[in-house]
Amino acid sequence: MMADYTTRDGSPWTPLFLVSIDGGACIGCARCFKVCDRDVMHLYGVDDEGEILGKVVEDDDDDFDGELNRKIMVADNDGACIGCNACARVCPKACQSHATPDKLAA
Residue 40 lies in a domain: yes
pTM: 0.85
Residue 2 lies in a domain: no
> How many whole angstroms separate alpha carbon 7 and alpha carbon 58?
35
User: Could you read off the pLDDT of 45-57 as tens digits, one per residue?
Assistant: 999 999 999 999 8
One-character DSSP codes across 47-89: -TTS-EEEEPPTT----TTTT--EEEEE-S-GGG--S--HHHH
Residue 6 lies in a domain: no
**What range does the domain containing 64 cover?**
17-103
Domain of 99, CATH number, reads: 3.30.70.20
Give the number of domains in the chain. Answer: 1
Residue 32 lies in a domain: yes
Contact 56, 63 (CB under 8 A): no
Residue 68 lies in a domain: yes
User: Could you read off the pLDDT of 22-36 as tens digits, one per residue?
Assistant: 999 999 999 999 999
Residue 98 lies in a domain: yes
> How many whole angstroms separate alpha carbon 88 and alpha carbon 80?
16
